[in-house]
Amino acid sequence: MAERKARWGWGALALCGILVAGCTGGGDGDESGKRPSDAAVVVAPDRDVAPAPTLEPADPAALPRTAAEARKMIDKLIVGPEGLPAGTRKATPYESDTATWSVLRSDCVWNREPIPDDVLATLTRHFELPPTDGKGRVRFSATITFHRTAADAAWEQARVVEESLHCDEQVLRRGERLTELNPQPARFGEAANLHSEDSLSEAGQCVSERHGGPYPYSWQQVTYASMVLSSSVCAGAGYTPEAAFKLVSEVVPFTQLRAREEFGREPGPKNGSKATASPSAAKDGA
């Protein structure tokens, strides 16, 4: 649901939408069978209106390099109930098996598989907001994955674009599916993405034999250096698609701020002044 992993065919459209700024799918169609008008569109910023934004780069020396370091970093960064709306509680199960991650197969069915060699560590947490104020139950998930390199993280994001275009309906598990999925990729500075190197949003509907539906579904995944962060929400009765998107979009910046405090690169010294220690170094007493 929140974890968006690998169908290993990397299409030109996916690379175009994620790895090359300002590029869109070419030709009369793509292998997903969708017409160009159905494909996600990346919108470049209007440089006549506002200057090009900048993004604080990550400090390579502060990024995790081993599985143990990645697991420790995930524990620091990943959101808990405190980062979600008041009343949100841990779901059962709360945390995923850290030896596996979710893979979207070519038949558009999700399955748990062992993590590949390019992944140091990954974790998903699940939450729920009980029915309140006349609205139905909301189910959240949040995932953080650390790859060995930033390039590996970018490849994961590219695969996600292709998967999204290939599978506009997906089976999460028995009795639960996503429908009418519509993806929107955007590099930094495109389509109002001012907070991550690459962003991919997806909206649609969630349907469950247990919980009912269809209800609004929203998901977002971003990259920052070797980290891939995603969050999803299946809203309940009484929620609008806009409300579902707002719930997701609040989780991602919350976690990204933590990430920048841990391994964001501080600006260099100016006018001969002494550089300050990074937030993570300060926390560790360096």
pLDDT at 30: 32
d(CA 204, CA 182): 6
Placement of tokens 């949003």 in the chain: 201
Strand, helix or coil at 276?
coil
Query: Token pair of 283, please?
Result: 């926390």
pLDDT over 50 at 75, yes or no: yes
pLDDT at 112: 92
Mean pLDDT in residue range 96-106: 92
Helix (H) or strand (E) holding 128: strand 119-129
Handedness of CA 47, 50, 52, 55 (dihedral sign): negative
Q: Kindly report the pTM of this predicted structure.
A: 0.73
What values do phi and psi take at 202, rounded to 5?
-145, 135
Closest by CA to 17, choosing from 42, 38, 45, is 42
DSSP state of 50: S
pLDDT over 60 at 18, yes or no: no
Q: Report the mean per-residue pLDDT for the chain.
A: 75
Query: Residues 42-68: pLDDT tens digits?
Result: 333 444 444 444 567 899 999 999 999
Q: Taking the domains of the chain in order of start, what are their residue ranges?
A: 56-265
Residue with more model confidence, 84 or 145: 145
Mean pLDDT in residue range 191-208: 73
Would you call the peptide bond into 64 cis, given omega within 30 degrees of 0 as the criterion? Answer: no
Residue with more model confidence, 275 or 133: 133
d(CA 148, CA 220): 22
Handedness of CA 166, 6, 153, 78 (dihedral sign): positive
Query: Residues 136-174: pLDDT tens digits?
Result: 999 999 999 999 999 999 899 888 878 777 888 999 888
Mean pLDDT in residue range 126-144: 93
Q: Which CATH class is domain 56-265?
A: alpha beta
Range with the largest mean pLDDT of 208-212, 224-228, 272-276, 278-282: 224-228
Helix (H) or strand (E) holding 120: strand 119-129
